[in-house]
Chain A
Amino acid sequence: MRRRAFSSGLLDMSDPWKVLIAMEEFCRVDPGLGLSAIASMFGSEILMLFGSDAQRERYLAPVMRGEMISAVAVTEPTGGSDVAGARSTMERVPGGYVLNGEKMFITNGTVADFYYVLARTSPPDSPEKRHRGLSVAIVERRWPGVTATKLRGKLGMRATDTAEVRFEGVRVPEENLVGEEGKGFYYIMTFFNISRVYVAAQAVGIAQGLLDLYSEYLSRRYGSRPPPEGAQFLLAEGITKVEAARLLTYRAASLIFQFRPDPALTSMAKYYAAEVANEVAQGVIAAMGEEGLRGRAEKLYRDAKITEIWEGTSEIEKLVIYRQLTRRSGS
């Protein structure tokens, strides 16, 4: 399925709009499966923007053909949204680094061929400057010292692989460092400012999918006569919010795809679309009666929740929006 998504041209990074729309439409139907296909290239923007030609040749090209799977290993068990609090370390040794640390909730953790790992290469000057001294390296899963353990029993997105990944004395060759040492936090944040727009698209797709199911339910239940006004309002309010979330998402995406991203707008899109997806999910599941408790509606209800959490929780998005606004008014 993954390879078909690439060979059919749906997943074509040379046209990011295609990928964004594929994300939205896949999630409208089946977020878990759709994401499994698209997330096989998770993190690719890091190499596109900051990698060397050799790295792109060796790692990015096979991913873009659907032959390799990548993963982003940033989140840690103690860290969550607090990316700069990373405790993993990469110690310098002749010819490269030795990586030690633990990463949590890693999408594709047990199936990826390689990870983009964020780890500390030098201690911070002060607690306030924790975002300095972090670096990104490409680490292959088959290297000695790498162990990935699949995490089971998720609320939703069950078709995606989620894992805990341990690095114990892993030798990382010099040429696998991405960009410059110490700039990892900046690279990862730049990446999140792109990837969050895809999460917004996930949320828009899920919300739309739920409204599709609710419309189908209403036609089954009421046939050709109009449903009661309460149902009409639920649908009207839902579709209004979905449309607003979609426009915000496309606006943020259009700026990103023109290489002039607006992080505040991207965070607004992600936060708002995720909120809409969960509001619609709660409204639709409560309105569909027993029918909503089985099958696709309940699945989308469970899938919706993660959009408020991954790639930065909604709370983090709001902090980003505030900081961007004050930065703008300060300049």
Chain B
Amino acid sequence: MTLRDEELLLRRLATEFCESEVEGARLRIEREGVPGPLLRRAAELGFLGALAPPELGGSGLDARSYSVLLQALSKCSTSLAYYVFVQNSLFIAPIIRLGAPEQARPLVEEVASGRSAGTLAQDLFREPGNPLSMQSSRLEGEADFVPLPRAAHHLVLVRASDRLALSGPGEVLEEYRLVGLRGVAFGRVRYGGDADVLPAPRAVDALRGLMEEASLGVAAMALGIAERAVEAAAQYAKDREAFNSKLAEFQPIAFYVAEAHAQLRAVESYVYSESPDPVAAKLLALDLARRASRMSIQVHGGYGYFEDVGIERLYRDAAALSSILGGREADLVSLARRILGDSAARI
């Protein structure tokens, strides 16, 4: 793949930030969440407002540059990349696209500057458990799997009225970490207060469309996981000795690395191609991330199993990313129906 100059610059900026400020805090992020000072730096560098227009304090990145950013961050800390993704793809993009300008402007500025955080509560990819409702301007009900449940601003999908509501923080009933992305808390939230309604009608379809676009960002984060997995495996194979040889001298180990490298380059070319299908990109990149991270642990042997080496988290993060915004099945169904028509892949 060939990156444009500004994309190369952005990648270098993100990589330098990761090497100098994130790498050392990696385990702390996993245990306690992304620390405040790191978020302020991410805001200064324009990452928290990556998709916001410059007039609202954002970087105004296009989809490709945004992918470059997410891949570079994810390579170092997928939790941090996901935090940036939540702010941009799950809050800024929907509120700009579906909100009234006067609703969006102040909040986008706040989130892009890192003064407060936004999040999205939606149940597009699962049976709605405790349905939300909107009566006059009162939002009632619960949402589960809300990322950053303590964020100041919540976009909430209300299926019953097919609208998106904008609410302050609800009551966090339960807070938990998933198998991966441990630096980002998820939670079950009860809403029961005043909320604004975004003017856009047919919010379910509109949000589905936005989530489909966001799939490219998920693919980029998955590529970051795969890239780290392959590079680390290659390095370890060159360094580690066993049976009087370097690991890399053994054909099977060398082939693992070579195959994963080839697959990585192919999927990467697709993600950064002229007009990739975001869902296809996500499917391919996540399958690769799960395979490559498993391979990398295998090459590292017992050491790969421990968190301080930084490989096992790739395996966990790949699993979390695979299911967090619609799993493999949902992606395959959507792709199949586009190719074969709406009656394809009945559920």
Contact of B145 among A81, A221, A290 (CB under 8 A): A290
B338 within 8 A of A: no
* Interface flag for A309 (CB, 8 Å): yes
Partner of A301, one of B307, B319, B329, B332: B319
Contact residues, A268-316 vs B (CB, 8 A): 278, 282, 285-294, 298, 301-302, 305-306, 308-310, 313-315
Query: Which are the 8 A-B pairs with shortest beta-carbon distances?
Result: A153-B307, A298-B179, A155-B312, A293-B178, A82-B242, A105-B302, A286-B328, A289-B327
Interface size on B, residues (CB 8 A): 46
B78 nearest CB across to chain A (Å): 14
Please give the distance in Å from B171's CB to the nearest CB on chain A.
Answer: 20
Which residues of B have CB within 8 Å of A49? none
Size of interface on A: residues with Cβ below 8 Å to B: 44
Asked, given contacts A293-B178, A294-B179, whether A315 binds B253 with beta carbons under 8 Å apart, the answer is yes
- The complex places the Cα of A301 from the Cα of B312 at a distance, in Å, of 12
Answer yes or no: B135 CB below 8 A from chain A CBs: no
The residue from B294, B330, B332 contacting A278, defined by CB atoms under 8 A apart: B294
Query: Which chain B residues border A318 with CB–CB below 8 Å?
Result: 252
> B327 contacts A286, CB within 8 Å?
yes
With a cutoff of 8 Å between Cβ atoms, the chain B residues found around residue A282 in the complex are: 290, 294, 319
Q: How far is the CA of A292 from the CA of B323 in the complex (A)?
A: 8
Cβ–Cβ contact B319 & A288, under 8 A: no
Q: Which residues of A contact B (CB under 8 A)?
A: 75, 78-82, 85, 104-105, 127, 151-156, 221, 228, 230-231, 278, 282, 285-294, 298, 301-302, 305-306, 308-310, 313-315, 318
B308 lies within 8 A of A293 (CB):
no
A85-B242, A287-B327, A294-B178 known; A305-B301 Cβ under 8 A: no
* A286 & B306 in contact (Cβ 8 Å cutoff): no
B138 within 8 A of A: no
Partner of B323, one of A151, A154, A293: A293
Tell me the dominant secondary structure on chain A's binding face: helix
B292 shortest CB reach to chain A, Å: 12
Contact of B297 among A82, A155, A286, A288 (CB under 8 A): A155
Task: A155-B306, A293-B320 given; name 9 further pairs at CB < 8 Å.
Answer: A81-B242, A155-B312, A221-B127, A278-B294, A292-B319, A292-B323, A302-B316, A305-B315, A309-B304
Provide the residues of chain B in CB contact with A151, threshold 8 Å: 306
B240, closest chain A residue (CB): A80
B299-314 interface bits toward A, Cβ cutoff 8 Å, 1 = contact, 0 = none: 0011011111000100
* Interface residue from B126, B305, B322 paired with A285 (Cβ < 8 Å): B322
Residue B15 is within 8 A (CB to CB) of chain A in the complex = no
- Chain A contacts for B244, CB-based, 8 A: 85, 127
**Which residue of the partner chain A has the closest CB to B319?**
A285
A155–B306 Cα gap in the complex (Å)?
A: 6
How far is the CB of B144 from the nearest CB of chain A, in Å? 8
From 268 to 324 in chain B, residues with beta carbon under 8 angstroms from any chain A beta carbon are 286, 290, 294, 297-298, 301-302, 304-308, 312, 315-316, 319-320, 322-324
Instruction: Decide: A315 near B252, CB < 8 A? Known: A85-B243, A155-B312.
Output: yes
Q: CB distance A314 to B298 under 8 Å?
A: yes
